[in-house]
Amino acid sequence: MQTCCVCLDEKQLIPLETCSHGICSKCIVRVFRTDPRCPLCRESSGNDLWDEASQDEPVEVLSSQYLNQTLSGHSEVVTAVAVFETPDGARVVSGGADKTVKICDVASGACLCTLSGHTDWVRAVAVFLDGSKIVSGSDDKTVKIWDVASGQERYTLSGHSGWVRDVAVFRDGSRIVSASDDGYVKVWDATSGENLLTLAGHNDYVCGVAMFADGTRVVSGSYDGTVKIWNL
């Protein structure tokens, strides 16, 4: 597979190694299986002949010109992100292998708050629709609810016996749903932290959850190769 550079100034495709710009705002890097316009592609094929049947579309496009900003703060792998709006502007919430949840201001890029309490990787984050609370799921087998204004933990929801891989919040903020390596989907009361319902039926890790807008059904996806829809 050949890496080439499409120069937006010169409007031509050239080998990345000979591009005077490098990877910058004037260039888009394209990874081609083969391309007849590229000298390196022709050289690697051993001749200048081009088989029309073998032409492929670009399989990847990378460009730094679209990067808006980079948020730093986590000390290890970032495993989950979500966005929400506040009266003071947009926020990004992230969770990572450093066992923390961070809230960053989009305008300034500053980390406004670090939420500490999990004892293992944070795998999932979600935000209440009104932006008042954050939910996180962790390898420590717990789900936590955090108050955004104070940065304090509201509840720790215990009940899963495996890593919590995903969490989601119902639109009305009344319930939370979580997915775990224990093979179960759990529905929690967001006000009291009570486990309202445990949905059993998958026979492997449950990796993702979502709910219908009207709150009457939950969807889950699993390592067992199935997607299940549950009536509540």
Report the half-sphere exposure of 4 (CA within 13 A, side-chain side): 22
Average pLDDT value for residue range 18-37: 46
User: Which residues, in sequence order, are bridge partners of residue 94?
Assistant: 81, 102
Q: Could you read off the pLDDT of 43-78 as tens digits, one per residue?
A: 444 433 333 344 444 445 555 567 788 899 999 999
**CA atoms of 9 and 18, how far apart (whole Å):** 15
HEC string for the chain? CEEEEEECCCCEEEEHHHCCCCCCCCEEEEEECCCCCCHHHHHHHCCCCCCHHHCCCCCEEECHHHCCCCCCCCCCCEEEEEEEEECCEEEEEEEECCCEEEEEECCCCCEEEEEECCCCCEEEEEECCCCCEEEEEECCCEEEEEECCCCCEEEEEECCCCCEEEEEECCCCCEEEEEECCCEEEEEECCCCCEEEEEECCCCCEEEEEECCCCCEEEEEECCCCEEEEEC
**CA atoms of 121 and 107, how far apart (whole Å):** 27
Show the tokens assigned to 52: 């029309």
**CA atoms of 89 and 92, how far apart (whole Å):** 10
- Exposure of 134 by Cβ count < 10 A (0-12 exposed, 13-18 middle, 19+ buried)? buried
Q: Where residue 80 falls among pLDDT bands split at 50, 70, 90?
A: very high
Across all residues in the chain, what is the average pLDDT? 82
pLDDT at position 22, please?
A: 47
User: Which residues, in sequence order, are bridge partners of residue 227?
Assistant: 221
Is a pLDDT exceeding 80 seen at residue 232?
yes
Is a pLDDT exceeding 70 seen at residue 10?
no
pLDDT at position 63, please?
A: 56
Torsion-angle region of residue 46: left (phi > 0), alpha (psi -120 to 50) or beta?
left
pLDDT at position 69, please?
A: 87
Is a pLDDT exceeding 90 seen at residue 163?
yes
Domains of the chain (ranges; CATH) run 2-66 (no CATH), 78-231 (2.130.10.10)
**Lowest-confidence segment of 70-79, 154-163, 180-189, 216-225 by average pLDDT:** 70-79
Is a pLDDT exceeding 90 seen at residue 218?
yes
pLDDT at position 23, please?
A: 45
Average pLDDT value for residue range 76-103: 95
Show the tokens assigned to 118: 């999990």
Residue 146 phi/psi, 5-degree rounding, is -120, 145
pLDDT at position 189, please?
A: 97
Q: Could you read off the pLDDT of 168-195 as tens digits, one per residue?
A: 999 999 999 999 999 999 999 999 999 9
**CA atoms of 76 and 18, how far apart (whole Å):** 35
Is a pLDDT exceeding 70 seen at residue 88?
yes
Q: Which residue has the higher pLDDT, 100 or 20?
A: 100
Query: What percent of the chain is predicted at pLDDT more than 70?
Result: 72
